[in-house]
Structure 1
Amino acid sequence: MKSLFLSLIVASCGSVIPATAYAQTQESVETYKFDAGVGLGMSGYLGDANESSLFAHPGVALNGSFRYLINTRWAIRGLFTAASLSGTTADMDNVLPEGKVYDFKSWVYDLGGRVEFNFFNYGIGEKYKNLSRISPYLSLGLGVTMSSTSGDSYVAMSLPMAFGVKYKVKPRVNLSLEFCMTKVFGDNVDSGELSDLYQIKSSFLKNTDWYSTIMLGISYEFGKRCVTCHRID
């Protein structure tokens, strides 16, 4: 009777443990299609009122983003960024015509899309895919930037170029640190008053402003992918 009772216990445990392990395995391989997040950090400016020191007059920057996660290496990201910029010609070595000094304060608002590439297979859980919880990444895109200063507004196309590092805290939670340089195809980020300070005509590509951001971000993944498991006994 005792041997029969022990046999039943062992059989029950044998059926429960594999089921639990299988459930845990299924949970560990869940992946998601989308990612939404926010970021906060510091902004800098290069242009007519600052030609060399990128963060000579640091400002505040914040963003909101939405990603479509194509796979563990590639993503498409939509991004809205707001940043405060400032600068002054008083810091420059060059003397402007008539010895004038200009300074400005403005806000820029950028809406754009980027393609993002992870150096490693970014993820957690699926060991057979050689996933890494940390990965550097690059991104490149196009956007539209609106600047607002002294009651005036200007709009121009922009080209954001970014480098960053991601870390997966949990299967659905990510931290990131990103540096982005944005080339604005216009010369009014620092206001129209600062265009052509030397009164010399220059080409469209050369006569442009830049702004940069260093952002710490957090994001959350959602939209579970449909995973079909072909089990072979």
Structure 2
Amino acid sequence: MEKKAFIWFILIITMVVSRAGAQDYKYEIGAGGGVGFYMGDANQSALFNKPGAAFGAVMRRVINYRWSIKFNLATAGIKGDTQSFNNQFPDGKNFKFNRQLIDLGAQGEFNFFHYGMGPAYLDVYRFTPYLLAGLGFTYVPHKNDGYFNVNIPLGIGVKYKISERWNLGLEFSMRKTLGDKLDGKDLSDPYKIKSSAFKNTDWYSMTWFTITYDFGRKKAICNNL
């Protein structure tokens, strides 16, 4: 009888420890840093051309092991110089710019694997690639040549859980702006061809490392034995 009681005690303790090691948090908050670059009339194809510093804050609402919603507030420097490429502009003109943008947005993230920490039966992994897509706003503060518009972010990334509450990430995203003045009024219509929200050349990218901390414990579920 004592042996059976001891076995039940060990099983209950094991279940409690396993539950404590599972992913029990609803939110992540943290920061990121890396580089941003621009693609448009002054750079039509070169990735990471004239990169500028990018940094900001991130927050996730974790829905389950596969899905989460991420919110970001970030800033990035973007630059361009038409002399770096072979484009021919009317009257042989050349243009260059250097601007600092602010990005506010939300993206849905889909993890390829069940992301988290816990016992083997949960089939969770500390590492996963993921895809992201969403909606955001781009703002360039400038007294005479400011810019504000909607952007559509698309990207890929990887996450790694270094402990129960800490996460590292690396993310690459491209953001299509629904306007053609991100690079300034001089490059808003250099060929005198009317643009539209879905027919323009202004994109920007951010590649950054992130570190986040889990908080907001999920409600524990009591299972009757």
Residues 62-119 of structure 1: per-residue CA shift (max 9 Å, x gap): 1211111110001111111210000001012122111111100001111111111101
Pairs within 5 Å for 1:78-227:
78-149=71-142, 151-227=144-220
Q: Please, what is the CA RMSD of the aligned residues?
A: 2.4
- Conserved 8 A contact 1:156-1:184: yes
State the 1:14 CA deviation: 8.3
- Conserved 8 A contact 1:107-1:149: no
Per the alignment, residue 29 of structure 1 pairs with 22
- Conserved 8 A contact 2:181-2:202: yes
State the 1:20 CA deviation: 5.7
CA distance in 2, matches of 1:134, 1:149: 41
State the 1:200 CA deviation: 2.6
CA distance in 1, matches of 2:87, 2:19: 65
Determine which structure has more spread, i.e. the larger CA radius of gyration: 1
Q: Secondary structure at the match of 1:170?
A: coil
CA distance in 2, matches of 1:138, 1:15: 43
Change (3 A) 1:30 1:203: closer
CA distance in 2, matches of 1:70, 1:195: 40
Q: Secondary structure at the match of 1:159?
A: strand
TM-score, normalised relative to structure 2: 0.90
Structure 1 residue ranges (4+ consecutive) displaced by more than 6 angstroms after TM superposition: 13-19
State the 1:199 CA deviation: 2.1
CA distance in 1, matches of 2:8, 2:199: 71
Change (3 A) 1:148 1:49: farther
State the 1:17 CA deviation: 6.5
The reply on whether 1:45 has 2:38 as its aligned counterpart is yes
The answer for unaligned runs of 5 or more in structure 1 is 1-9
Per the alignment, residue 74 of structure 1 pairs with 67
- Conserved 8 A contact 1:147-1:188: no
State the 1:123 CA deviation: 0.5
Identity of aligned residues (%): 41
- Aligned pairs, how many? 224
- Conserved 8 A contact 1:181-1:211: yes
Q: Secondary structure at the match of 2:146?
A: strand
Match of 1:229 among 211, 219, 222: 222
Residues 154-206 of structure 1: per-residue CA shift (max 9 Å, x gap): 11011011100000000110000000000001111111121111223344422
- Conserved 8 A contact 1:113-1:141: yes
The answer for unaligned runs of 5 or more in structure 2 is none
Q: Secondary structure at the match of 2:203?
A: strand
State the 1:226 CA deviation: 1.2
State the 1:29 CA deviation: 2.5
